[in-house]
Every structure is written in C-alpha cells, then in structure tokens.
Structure 1
Amino acid sequence: MAGVRFLDLVSPFTPYIPGVIAPQRKIPFDQRLLWTVVVLLIFLIMSEVPLYGIVSSDSSDPIMWLRMMLASNRGTLMELGITPIMTSSMVFQLLMATGVVEINGDSRADRETLQSAQKFLALILSFGQATVYVLTGMYGVPSSLGTGVCLLLILQLVFAAFIVITLDELLQKGYGLGSGTSLFVATNTCEQTIWKCFSPKTVTGAKGAEFEGAVLALVHLLSTRKNKKLALIEAFTRKNLPNMTQVLVTVAIFYVVVYLESLRVELQIRSSKARGTVTTYPIRLFYTSNTPIMLQSALSQNIVMISQLLFSRYPESLFTRILGVWDTNKLGQLVAVKGIAYYVLPPMSWHEICADPVKTLVYVTFVISVCASFSKLWLEVSGTGPKDVARQFRDQELSIVGSRDTSAYKELKSLIPTAATLGGAAIGILSVSSDLVGGLVSGTAMLLAVTTIYGYYEAANESGNKLF
C-alpha cells in the first residue's frame, strides 16, 4: 500500500492549502459563463502587468516557441503561465503509472488528497522555477538587483502562480466552463491569430511600408499595386511577415480539428428506473481532449529550462551536453543545437527540416508517442477510465443496450483506452503536421484553441444556449 502512504504524507498539509469549495447546487449556464469571463479578465490583466523590480526582460528567450502553448507572457505576472499546473499533473501521471501513487477511485478522501497533493506540488514547482529564472539572470544580474529585489520577484511569480492555480480550480469545480488552463491557452492563441490577420502596424522593408496583418496587407497590396497578379502572389508568399497562405492553412486546420472532434462512438444505454428510455453515451476520438498535447508542451518546456540552466553553469559536463548544447543564432536568439533539448523543439522552417531530417523524424516520433502515452495515463488521473464510467453506470442504474448489466465494464474497457490512445496519437499527428505545414501560430497552440472553443460550443448547446 505504498501509494496510500505516499498520499498520507500530504494529508497533514491539506487543511493549510487554500482551495475552492465545490458548489452545493447546479449553477445555471449564464452564471457559469459570467464566472468564465471574470476569470479570463483576471488572466488578461495579469498578462499585461509587468513584474516589479526587473531591469530588463529583453534577453534571449529559449522557450519563446512554447510560451503560447503555456499561456506565458515574458516579463509579466504570467511569466510562469500554466507550467506549474501541467508539470504537477504530468508528475502525478508518471507516479500513478509506476505504482508509486495508488488511489481508491471510490474514496472521496483519496480523490481530495490527490487534488491537494497536485496543488501543493504545483506551488513548489512555481517556487523552484521562479528561483531559477531570477538566479539565471532572466531579469538582470542577481548581484545588481540585490537580495531584496530577487526575493520580491520570486514572491510575485509564486503569488501569480497561486492565483492561476485557484482560477483553474474555480472553473473545474463547476463555477465556470471547462478548465482555466485550456481557456488561457485558447485566449493567447486567438489573440495572436487575430493580430497577425488584422494588425494595423506598418513595417518598412525593401519594398516600402506594408501592414503586418496578412488580411490588411492583401487589401493594401490589391488597392495600391497596378499588377494585381503580382500583388496576390506577394500577399500569399511574403516572408518574415504573416501571409495569406498561413491564414488559409490556419482555417484548414480549424475545420480538420472540428471534424475530428465530431468523430465518436455512441453507446446506447437504458435506465432500469425509467424503462423504455434509451439515451446515448458518446466516446469521442479526442476522449481526453487537449490534455495530452498540453502535458507534452509542459514536458518539453521543463527539459529546455533545465538544459539551459545546466549548460550555463556546467557547459562541459557530459550529462549537460547530453541534455542539450546551446548557442546563439544569427538573430541573437539562444537556441539548442545538440542534445535532447534540440530534438524536443520543433523545426522552425522548411530549410531546417531539409537540413536535418533526423531531427524532424525524432521530433515527430517524440510528440506522437508522448501524446498517446499521456492520453492513456490521464484516464486514471481524471477519473474517466472504464472502471470509473462503469461505476457511474452502476450507481445510476444504467446499462448498455444489448449487453448484460454486469458486462458494462468489459464493453467500456474495449473502447475507452483505445479511443484515448488513438485520440492522443491523432492530436500529436495534427500538432506536428500543422507545425510542418506552417500557420499563423504553432500547430499545437492552434489545436489547443480549437478543441477548447469547440468544447465551449458543445457546452452551450447542451445547456440550451446557442452561442452561434
């Protein structure tokens, strides 16, 4: 019973970990929508409030490609984003998969202790990550900042992380819609997508001033150039700025994800209480939604962060060089050039794909396999596995049409893990395919945003409130 002993270590701390009490009644959809908007506003404000005491946040940012997926904004209160939450979930998935942590799904106390343990670990991780950021000089040389300012920066980051953890719990407990992590990522992605389509900012290049936004650039080029054909070609192929090809790719990704979201197997179920009543229980292809790709992003971010920290301190260590070797590119950006960190980050261009196809193959294999594994492991952590669903059927006196009452678990066991694994792999394939094809934002970020928006759409329809 090693798992129970592990959870018992957290039990004494549970009363001291602030949490959100579950609602005592079902909250109407309108109120849940209002709470979701309030949470979103708090997140947006925190994303714009700069950290007090920083000298500069313009230094090289090795995780700039991951920030959108982690709802992180450089130099602000949202510096850590959802990284502590996702890393904590990832750690407990691995602990449960290896048998270190065991919980009784029927025990409410075990479930609550597990939630407290995840929250406690997330706070510890936020403190550790904040300390690493400050001590590695991300906001200025620590000796120049002074001990007091360094401590203040760490305190700000940890407090902001606590707010994010609380907001996420508030939504997941039923006061709002969906989860805070998905909402924050979707908001970041939508903001960047709209900006890259309609940004009125002008950039002066070799061909003169042009709009940064792809759609505005198209309109501007067609209205100012005499040769409309060349204007169209330029609008669809311009480099270093968003172009219309990226816009069309983004739209195509949106519709592909929506289509795959609709794929499901519907089980016919009947109730012994209301005889003759038959309803359906859907098992989706994306059974675990966007959780696998979020966990994969958190894993990559932690590998990158640890690798960069070790390389800055011990560049000649064998372990450090295996984890990652870093160098500065032509733009002055610190990038991984060898090691594990190099292979867990996506290729940034077709030139990089052609120059190192091995990296591309390793990256694709890594993302797909990790997403599939995390998707299957998430069933145990989230309480949505076949045992949990079968227990819900039994408690509600439901049974699958055409099967014996006692065979629900067997039927669900043949469907749910398969859907979770295939769905996780499909999410990984979509993510890397989108990254390789190229859109306005990364494929992972776009995938997270679309699945979140689709989830809100379905939640509104189930509640009888049409969003569109």
Structure 2
Amino acid sequence: MGWKEAAEPVLTRMPTVTRPDGHVPFKKKLGWTAGILVLYFFLTNITLLGIHPQGGEDLFGQFRSILAGEHGSLMQVGIGPIVTASIVLQLLGGANLLGLDTDDPRDQVLYQGLQKLLVIVMTALTALPMVFAGGFLPPADVLQLGSLTFVGTQIQTLMFIQIFIGGVLILYMDEVVSKWGVGSGVGLFIIAGVSQLLVSGFLSMSDEGFFYSWYQILFTNEVTAGSWLSREGFNTLFIADGGGQLLALATTLLIFGIVVYAESVRVEIPLSHARVKGARGRFPVKLIYASVLPMILVRAVQANIQFMGQILNSQWANMPAWLGEYSDGQVVGGFFYYTAPIYSPNDWMWWTGQVPAGIEVWQIFLRISVDLTFMVIGGAIFAIFWVETTNMGPKATAQQIQNSGMQIPGFRQNAGVVEKVMERYIPQVTVIGGALVGLLAVWANMLGTIGAVDGTGLLLAVSITYKLYEEIAEEQLMEMHPMMRQMFGKG
C-alpha cells in the first residue's frame, strides 16, 4: 500500500472551505475580502493572554513585512507556516517524490489536504521554540482567570495554544479569500502589513516619521546653513532614520515605478482560433512571469536560518564564534552574520558610524555578496519551481491553449508544436525575471525605504496590488458582460 492510500483517510477529512456553486457577484467578493481584512487587523490587535508586559524580542522583526502578523498577538506566526509548507511541497513536487497528478481530482484533494496538514505542523513547530525557548515570548509571573491561577509552564502552554489557533485561523482566512473573495489571503495580508508600515513611516510623530523629521529640520535648525555639505549633514538629510530620509523616499518611489514598468514589459505571442475565422488574441509572457511571490519563499529560507541562529544563541551558552556571535540580540559575526540579509543602509555604510564596532569592511562586503548571490540565484530557482508547480510552464500553457481551441498562426494545431514555441520564451524570461526581482530586493534594502519596509516586502506589495487591480478590472468586465465569464471559463 502506497503513502497515498495510507494518508487518504486523514487528508480527505481535513476541514475545508466549500467552493461557491456558481458565480459569486463582484460586490459579494469585495464584501468577503473586506471582511477578512478587517478580521485580520482585529486579530493582530489581540494581545496574547499571559504574555509579559515587556513582550520580548520579535524573531521575525526584519521579515515582518513579508511574513505579516504582529508580534505578541494571535497572529504571531503570520503567514510563515503557509510559506514554509509551500517550500516543502514545491521541493517534493519538483523532485517528483509525491507522485501526485494535479489534473486528477482525487490527487487534487490529497494535495490540498497535505498542504493544510503541513501548515498545521509548521505552525506548531514555529510556535514551540518561540514560547518555550529563549524568552522570545516571556510569560507573565502569574495569570489569574477567575478562580483559576496559571504559573510558569501553564502560562506558556496557554500562549502556545493561542498562537496555534491563530496560525490555523490565518490558513482558513486565506482559503476564504481565495475561493470567495478577490486575489489571495496571503497577498492581502502582505499588502495590509506593508501599507501599515508605509503610512506610519510617513505620518509617525516620532523621529522616524518622514514629515515629522522634515518639520524638525526646517523649523528647529537641526541642519544649519551649509552644514549639509559635511558628512554629518549628508547623513542627516539623506540616510538617518531621524533625518530627511531622502534616499529612502527616492528608493521607495523608484521601486514603485520599476515594478509597475516591469509588469507591463512582455512578449506577446499571437493566437488565432482554429475554427472561428477572425477570432484572434495574444498570450503575454511578462518580464516578471513568475510574479514576485517566489521571493517570499527565498526570504522565508533566510528567515528560518536566522530563526535557528537566535534559538541556538539562546540555548547554547558556548556557541562557536564561527557559527555565530551575538551582541544585544543582534548577530555580529560568524555564519549567521554572513547569511543574514542586509536590512538597511546602517548595515553596510560603515562611514556613517552605525555599523557595530569590531566588524571589518571585508566582512560587510562578504555579507553583501552572500545576500546578493542568495537572492539572485534563489530568485531564479524558486521562480522556475513556481512556474512548474502552478501550471505556468511551457507544457501546461501549450495544453491550455490547445484546449481553448486557439493556435499560433503559421504553426500546426498541436500541443507539442505550441510547447516548442513556448520553450523559446518562458524558461528564459522566468530565470531573468526571478534574478531581476532578487537584485531589486537587495538594492532596496541596501538603500532603505520609508517605514523601514523590507525591500522584498515593498516589491511584493506593489506587484500584488498591481495584479489585484488587474483582477478587479477583469471581474468588473465579466460582471458587465456575463458572456465574458464563459470565455474565461468562470461561468
């Protein structure tokens, strides 16, 4: 008996959100999407029962704009378990170890059940060390609930249960949006988190706020006449979080412009209908063909490596220096330092005086090289995995064109022939697009962004918003012209 037969009774009984029987009106889709978004913000503001008032250190702090959620809340793990489970399934599927045919309805159910089971397992594996190791989520001394008194491990167990429930909730919230709403829940939560950081980065009344910083510069003589030409003045106006942040503003605007432009760059392959004369169309192969979403997988691998380093540092008193050196909770040397992403200009601009003491220039450049290599090569590899596992590859695309009755003018109406044409474009564009997105993500982090948004998070937010706009436009078109739903196969 194979693993599918053994696991089928469990995987087919995993709770699932029922798909709508027919067409869901556009207004109803918007209602479901808005409702889930409000619920998400509500859950991120529910503090874990039993957590110490100080809250502890956020292990995913620098990756929070990608993994969503909120430290110390029910949404503690964010979409991390969903992303990690996707990585595992993509690797297993890419190596053809699962033996699942996604065109087979039975195997589709098994795949979806396996994905949910993996997310639940990853939620537990992520929450356990957060709660029970290292003091990252320190419990209160005593918790009184009515006549019940909780202390020590009892409080930690209660916190773990809350985080686990939050992780399961975000899994099914994502499924609700995917089946009943517009776009996907994962994309929606990323947009919500990044938008929140951007707005607070502009409007915050602290020194990190862009407008407040400029108010100080213009009206409190923080930068006196002529001093902006000095190193300190340049740092204040262009780089420092408590200064003008002009570099961060320019980077943020450039990322918006580059991603929108890249989304519009495409190779259009002409199509014509084999039986309906005059019926023509085009199949677009975009520069960012695999979208920016595979970058979540790359950053998630980096986040898990840093997560492991933090756990080892908290539990291993005499961890070897070559493995990792930590100061005030920040990695400053060893393997975990070189594999840590560049988060901001202060991580590499040694002349500003913000780089921790003792770190040599060659160490900084080695860290930049590792981050750049990891993101560019990882972006290309995960883009290929993404295209193959989401039926966007040459073979799957050729079959879809064949099934729609379309063909490429001048070529025989044959799936194999169409596949050969697609192989001229899709693999090359996928690799170039994935590498380009990785390069942009590192560049954005190195120069900094408003609100200290991670470069990958900003790329994701812009790209997902652009695609969401396109999907909304398509939904409105099909709402106005019901016959269009049959053409798109969404009737």
Report the 3-state secondary structure (helix = DSSP H, G, I; strand = E; otherwise coil) of the residue aligned with 2:411. Answer: coil
Q: Tell me which amino acid in the other structure corresponds to 2:241.
A: N
2:12 and 2:109 in contact (8 A); partners too:
no
The residue aligned with 1:31 is: 28
Match of 1:83 among 63, 75, 80: 80
Q: What pairs up with 1:376-415 in 2 under 5 angstroms?
A: 376-406=384-414, 407-415=417-425
Residue 103 in 1 paired to residue 113 in 2? no
C-alpha displacement of 1:147: 3.1
Match of 2:374 among 366, 371, 374: 366
The residue aligned with 1:147 is: 153
C-alpha displacement of 1:37: 1.1
Report the 3-state secondary structure (helix = DSSP H, G, I; strand = E; otherwise coil) of the residue aligned with 1:181. Answer: helix
CA–CA separation in structure 1 for the residues paired with 2:206 and 2:343: 28
Report the 3-state secondary structure (helix = DSSP H, G, I; strand = E; otherwise coil) of the residue aligned with 1:282. Answer: strand
The residue aligned with 1:433 is: 443
The residue aligned with 1:307 is: 309
The residue aligned with 1:161 is: 167
Report the 3-state secondary structure (helix = DSSP H, G, I; strand = E; otherwise coil) of the residue aligned with 1:269. Answer: strand
Q: What pairs up with 1:29-428 in 2 under 5 angstroms?
A: 29-136=26-133, 137-140=135-138, 145-173=151-179, 175-199=180-204, 201-203=205-207, 212-219=208-215, 221-222=217-218, 236-237=237-238, 239-241=240-242, 243-245=244-246, 246-316=248-318, 324-328=323-327, 332-335=328-331, 337-340=333-336, 342-346=338-342, 348-349=344-345, 352=348, 355=361, 356-406=364-414, 407-428=417-438
The residue aligned with 2:148 is: none
CA–CA separation in structure 2 for the residues paired with 1:40 and 1:261: 25
1:287 and 1:420 in contact (8 A); partners too:
yes
Report the 3-state secondary structure (helix = DSSP H, G, I; strand = E; otherwise coil) of the residue aligned with 2:326. Answer: strand
C-alpha displacement of 1:315: 4.8
CA–CA separation in structure 2 for the residues paired with 1:122 and 1:281: 34
CA–CA separation in structure 2 for the residues paired with 1:7 and 1:326: 45
Report the 3-state secondary structure (helix = DSSP H, G, I; strand = E; otherwise coil) of the residue aligned with 2:19. Answer: coil
CA–CA separation in structure 1 for the residues paired with 2:109 and 2:2: 15
1:62 and 1:334 in contact (8 A); partners too:
no
Report the 3-state secondary structure (helix = DSSP H, G, I; strand = E; otherwise coil) of the residue aligned with 1:65. Answer: helix
Q: Tell me which amino acid in the other structure corresponds to 1:260.
A: A
1:296 and 1:367 in contact (8 A); partners too:
yes
Name the count of aligned residue pairs: 447
Report the 3-state secondary structure (helix = DSSP H, G, I; strand = E; otherwise coil) of the residue aligned with 2:113. Answer: helix
CA–CA separation in structure 1 for the residues paired with 2:243 and 2:32: 34
C-alpha displacement of 1:373: 0.6
CA–CA separation in structure 2 for the residues paired with 1:240 and 1:227: 15
CA–CA separation in structure 2 for the residues paired with 1:350 and 1:244: 12
C-alpha displacement of 1:436: 1.2
Q: Which one is further off, 63-72 or 382-391?
A: 382-391
CA–CA separation in structure 2 for the residues paired with 1:101 and 1:142: 44
TM-aligned CA distance change 1:220 to 1:280, over 3 Å: same
The residue aligned with 1:207 is: none
C-alpha displacement of 1:347: 5.1
C-alpha displacement of 1:316: 4.5
Match of 2:465 among 453, 460, 468: 453
What is the CA deviation profile of residues 237-285 of structure 1, one whole-angstrom value per residue up to 9, with x for unaligned ones?
3623263412222111111111111111112122234332001121112
CA–CA separation in structure 1 for the residues paired with 2:464 and 2:115: 23
CA–CA separation in structure 2 for the residues paired with 1:6 and 1:146: 41
2:274 and 2:413 in contact (8 A); partners too:
no
C-alpha displacement of 1:197: 1.0
CA–CA separation in structure 2 for the residues paired with 1:397 and 1:409: 15
Q: Tell me which amino acid in the other structure corresponds to 1:166.
A: Y
Match of 1:10 among 7, 17, 32: 7
Give the percent of matched residue pairs that are identical in Structure 1 and Structure 2: 27
CA–CA separation in structure 2 for the residues paired with 1:312 and 1:110: 42
Report the 3-state secondary structure (helix = DSSP H, G, I; strand = E; otherwise coil) of the residue aligned with 2:255. Answer: helix
Report the 3-state secondary structure (helix = DSSP H, G, I; strand = E; otherwise coil) of the residue aligned with 1:405. Answer: coil
C-alpha displacement of 1:23: 2.0
What is the CA deviation profile of residues 177-236 of structure 1, one whole-angstrom value per residue up to 9, with x for unaligned ones?
22111111111111111111122x245xxxxxxxx4213443564456599966997873
2:174 and 2:184 in contact (8 A); partners too:
yes
What is the CA deviation profile of residues 98-152 of structure 1, one whole-angstrom value per residue up to 9, with x for unaligned ones?
2322322421221221121111101001011111111112222699743332222
C-alpha displacement of 1:307: 2.5
Q: Which one is further off, 369-378 or 263-272?
A: 263-272
1:32 and 1:177 in contact (8 A); partners too:
yes
TM-score of the superposed pair, with normalisation by structure 1: 0.87
What is the CA deviation profile of residues 156-188 of structure 1, one whole-angstrom value per residue up to 9, with x for unaligned ones?
111111111111122223x21221111111111
Gaps of 5+ in 2: 143-150, 351-360, 478-491
Q: Tell me which amino acid in the other structure corresponds to 1:352.
A: W
